[in-house]
């Protein structure tokens, strides 16, 4: 081999070059990532809604010796706890051996995903078809939701307070639901509309049946809305609910099916709800993997991120701060000092560069699939508006924590003024906690079927592990 010139050596020393997983990871390490992804796929399949994610998470935590904590409980050093917030968000934490005044290492992700929620008065009949009206939840591209198989997940609270769980469409042999679409032969007018006007929110009605109710003598009932009656009778028989119970329900139409490998090499993974379970799972498993850390570590899995983080289960709620207050009271520490010394990785997905749509990206500052976990110093839109912009010092501190252990890259979400988006980072940062965004690059983000790389998933887990230990 010929010796390098001074210029070549200087280049190697001074230039930054984004590296791919395949440049820096051995085949054995890539296999580790494939293995890790199996656990993730299982988690994902059982966590299509935030309620299901909380259940799945709580079961994993219990398995690992975590016990349920209620606000006001006393905690002890080394104790492992989780706070189940209304069944829709969860705070898991392990008390470290160092003083709480040293701060908490917080990993925050969200477990709600874009979908179609049922309206509170959803059921209607039209021309012999029974439908459920939906109101989309989070940012969806409406055209993506017709003609795909949809399942129904959620809960209904009956009079007197009993809540029944409903899941239809996932098990083998289950029926599914669908939103129909125009045939191309008759879509000329619709085709002429812009994409955002061709499909309307009020048009996203779920087809759920078409047979009438039969009287006991085997004749079709003479009652109006025969199909609706039949559907309601079936729901009543199975779940004991009546139509007015929909008013006290949270039912969601989500894409049917499980996480699957994509491609001949099985390296990419397709599924509904990667955003943001693909960050929630690595954060959670990092907490479980760092039992011997001296730090107090907390994994927050929030709800409502997709609709702005409002409400009691969103990250704008005071619960994170209240919980830190409670822990500090229990440990006789000033919680303001604890917060000031805490740090947070706000874990959310980023837009992976898609060669089919290069125009919306700025190549030097976008997330590349298979180049590791993505750090975003800021998110927001339109001139860094509405973002936590992490300080140089804090980003530097995280870089040092990652060292050689983690393959990471930096990115903005898309080209300036192409759009933009936010995360929970700013709500944590607003509690006086240094925070930076971190996550997995995703293709087709917010679509019913999103795509990630198993390698990026695993690097994200390693990033949380390095942060927690």
Give the pair of three-digit tokens for residue 387: 């973002």
Residue of minimal Cβ distance to Mn ion = 276
Residue 45, interface with Mn ion (CB under 5 A)? Answer: no
Cβ of residue 253: shortest distance to Mn ion, in angstroms? 17
The stretch near Mn ion (CB under 5 A) out of 232-240, 258-266, 330-338, 345-353 is 345-353
Give Cβ neighbours of residue 264 (< 8 Å, ≥ 6 apart). Answer: none
Binder among 112, 326, 348, 412 for Mn ion (CB under 5 A): 348
Minimum Å gap between C-beta 267 and Mn ion is 23
| 176 token code pair | 């599914």
Nearer to Mn ion, 140 or 232 (CB): 140
Best CA proximity match to 350, nearest among 445, 249, 464: 445
Establish whether the linkage from the previous residue to 391 is cis, with ω within 30° of 0: no
Region from 120-128, 270-278, 388-396, 426-434 binding Mn ion, contact rule CB under 5 A: 270-278
- Which residue's CB is nearer to Mn ion, number 52 or number 276? 276
**Nearest CA-CA partner of 455 in 35, 110, 39, 47:** 35
Task: Report the residue number, 335 or 435, with the smaller CB distance to Mn ion.
Answer: 435
Cβ proximity to Mn ion: between 326 and 456 the closer is 456
Question: Between residues 125 and 348, which has the closer beta carbon with respect to Mn ion?
Answer: 348
Q: Select 348 or 412, whichever has its Cβ closest to Mn ion.
A: 348
Indicate whether 275 belongs to the interface with Mn ion (CB under 5 A): yes
With contacts defined by CB under 5 A, name the span among 22-30, 287-295, 323-331, 340-348 that binds Mn ion: 340-348
- How many residues sit in the footprint of Mn ion (CB under 5 A)? 3
Short-list 339, 349, 434, CA closest to 392: 434
Rounded distance between C-alpha atoms, residue 371 and residue 384, angstroms: 25
Query: Nearest-5° angle of CA 314, CA 134, CA 260?
Result: 75
Q: How far apart are CA 238 and CA 196, in angstroms?
A: 38
**Contact by Cβ (8 Å): 407, 364:** no
CB 361 within 8 A of CB 430: no
As measured in angstroms, the least distance from the Cβ of 379 to Mn ion is 10
Name the minimum Å distance from CB 166 to Mn ion: 25
Total residues found in the chain within this entry: 469
208 or 279, CB closer to Mn ion? Answer: 279
276 binds Mn ion (CB under 5 A): yes
Tokens standing for residue 169? 């469409």
Mark the segment that binds Mn ion (CB under 5 A) among 31-39, 260-268, 328-336, 347-355.
347-355
Work out how close the CB of 49 gets to Mn ion at its nearest, in angstroms, rounded to a whole number.
Answer: 14
Query: Cα separation of 187 and 174, whole Å?
Result: 31
The number of CA neighbours under 13 Å toward the Cβ of 261 is: 10
Nearer to Mn ion, 324 or 451 (CB): 451
Residues in the site for Mn ion, rule: CB under 5 A? 275-276, 348
């Amino acid at each position: 081999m010929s010796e390098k010139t001074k210029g070549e050596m200087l280049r190697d020393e001074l230039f930054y070059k984004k590296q791919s997983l395949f440049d820096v990871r051995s085949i054995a390490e890539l296999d580790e990532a494939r293995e890790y992804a199996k656990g993730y796929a299982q988690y994902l399949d059982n966590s299509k809604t935030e309620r299901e994610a909380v259940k799945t998470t709580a079961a994993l935590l219990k398995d690992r010796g975590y016990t349920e904590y209620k606000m006001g409980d006393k905690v002890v050093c080394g104790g492992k706890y989780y706070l189940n917030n209304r069944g829709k968000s969860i705070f898991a934490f392990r008390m470290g051996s160092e003083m709480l005044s040293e701060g908490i290492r917080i990993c925050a992700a969200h477990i709600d995903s874009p979908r179609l929620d049922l309206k509170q008065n959803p059921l209607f009949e039209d021309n012999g078809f029974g439908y459920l009206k939906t109101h989309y939840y989070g940012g969806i591209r409406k055209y993506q939701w017709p003609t795909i198989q949809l399942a129904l997940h959620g809960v209904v609270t009956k009079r007197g307070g009993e809540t029944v769980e409903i899941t239809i469409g996932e098990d083998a042999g289950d029926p599914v639901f669908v939103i129909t679409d125009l045939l191309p032969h008759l879509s000329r007018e619709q085709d002429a509309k812009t994409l955002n006007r061709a499909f309307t929110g009020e048009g996203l009605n779920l087809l759920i049946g078409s047979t009438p109710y039969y009287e006991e003598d085997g004749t079709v009932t003479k009652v109006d809305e025969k199909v609706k009656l039949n559907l309601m009778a079936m729901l009543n028989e199975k779940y004991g609910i009546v139509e007015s119970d929909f008013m006290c329900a949270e039912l969601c139409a989500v894409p049917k099916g499980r996480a699957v490998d994509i491609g001949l090499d099985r390296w990419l993974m397709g599924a509904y709800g990667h955003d943001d379970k693909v960050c929630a799972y690595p954060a959670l498993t990092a907490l479980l993997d760092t039992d011997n850390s001296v730090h107090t570590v907390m994994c927050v899995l929030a709800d409502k991120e997709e609709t702005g983080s409002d409400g009691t289960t969103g990250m704008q709620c005071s619960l994170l701060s209240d919980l830190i207050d409670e822990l500090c009271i229990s440990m006789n520490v000033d919680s303001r000092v604890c917060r000031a010394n805490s740090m947070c990785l706000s874990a959310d997905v980023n837009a992976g560069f898609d060669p089919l749509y290069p125009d919306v990206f700025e190549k030097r500052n976008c997330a590349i699939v298979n180049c590791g976990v993505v750090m975003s110093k800021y998110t927001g839109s339109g001139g860094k508006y509405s973002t936590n912009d992490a300080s140089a010092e804090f980003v530097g501190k995280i870089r040092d924590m990652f060292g050689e252990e983690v393959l990471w890259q930096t990115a903005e979400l898309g080209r300036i003024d192409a759009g933009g988006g936010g995360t929970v980072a700013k709500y944590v940062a607003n509690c006086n906690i240094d925070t930076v965004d971190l996550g997995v690059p995703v293709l087709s983000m917010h679509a019913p079927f999103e795509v990630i790389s198993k390698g990026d998933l695993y690097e994200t887990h390693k990033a949380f592990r390095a942060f927690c230990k």
